[in-house]
Each structure stands twice: as C-alpha cells, then as structure tokens.
Amino acid sequence: MHLRPLLILALLATFGFSARAENASQPVSDPVLETPTLTCLGAYWIIRGDDNRNAKIEFYARQAGSSGEWKRGPDLFRVEKNDGTYNNQGGKPRPASIPVPKDSWLFAGTIFFLEPDTEYDLKLKLIDPDGGSAEKTLTGRTSAEPIADENAPGRPASLSSCVRPRFAPHQFCSR
C-alpha cells in the first residue's frame, strides 16, 4: 500500500523530466551578426526545442575591451515558423534568406542608440525555464558616417554656387 504512491511519484518524475528535456532549448549554431548601421547592431540565433515558447534570449552590448557595465537591449524577437518560403512583393514564392530547421526557432533583434564607428562586444544569453541555456559573445562595429569625396560630381564648391530656380528642384548645382 505504501509502495503505490512511491511508484506513482517515480513514474511522474521520470515522465515529467523526459517531457521537460524534450522541451529544453539548445542552439543549432552560433549567433550571426547582421549588417551594422550607424547606431545599431543586430544579430540572430537559431534555437532548437522550446515547443512551449517560454525561452528568451537577452541581448547586451558594451564597448569592446571595456570592463564597464553591459547595456541591456530588447530581448531577441521570436520569428514565427513557416514552411521555408515567403511571397515577394509580386506575390511569387521565394525561399527564406535564413534557412531554419523545422524543429527550430529563429530569434532576431537589434540594440539601438550606439555610437557610430565604434566596436562593441555583444552578449546573447539564452534562458529557458524548461532547461537549456547558453551564452555567446560577438564583436561588431557600427558603421562610420559616410563622407562624400570633395571631387564628387554634383557637390557644390560652396553653398553660394548652388542656386536653384524656384520651380526646377531637379536641376543639379554647378561648380
């Protein structure tokens, strides 16, 4: 009689842990740094598991080589699963630019308000209450502000040399 509750408890614990382990998250590969902008750095990470959708990926940044505090950005966004194709603007199917396995999720995000032309360390931290965790660090540089060549065509020598008629804004300035 006393063995029956123990047996039930043991079965529940065994099946509970195995169900939990199947739902645990794990990275499929390393995170990928996206093309930077002047003041933003973005990344994506493909994660397997997490069928109950309670995992999250925290996103942090700090200047490279710094031992200062990490700046917390928004958590990476979970992208909905699909069959691997999308419709282009004309409504025609095209393959996804980032292939994601059927048993996985794509998480993507951006950290904003960074300094231009500055190198940053980015920390991505996978947290899943069902088990599975990982932490990766990437290094990326924000873009520098582009500077036009002094001899570029259409660039005025001075503002006074650029006089446009009132109703002809399409005309270019002359030197």
Q: Specify the amino acid at residue 56.
A: K
Nearest to 108 by CA among 62, 70, 73: 73
pLDDT at 166: 52
Q: Please provide the average confidence, as pLDDT, over all residues in the chain.
A: 82
Q: Specify the amino acid at residue 161.
A: S
- What count of other Cβ atoms lies within 10 Å of the Cβ of residue 40? 16
pLDDT tops 80 at residue 35: yes
Average pLDDT over residues 23-46: 96
- As a whole number of angstroms, the distance between CA 113 and CA 106 comes to 24
pLDDT at 16: 47
Is CATH 3.40.50.300 the classification given to domain 23-141?
A: no
pLDDT at 98: 86
What is this structure's pTM? 0.71
- As a whole number of angstroms, the distance between CA 137 and CA 126 comes to 12
pLDDT at 110: 97
Taking the domains of the chain in order of start, what are their residue ranges? Answer: 23-141
**Nearby residues of 132 by Cβ (< 8 Å), 6 or more positions away:** 24, 25, 26, 49, 50, 55, 126
Average pLDDT over residues 76-89: 80
pLDDT at 76: 98
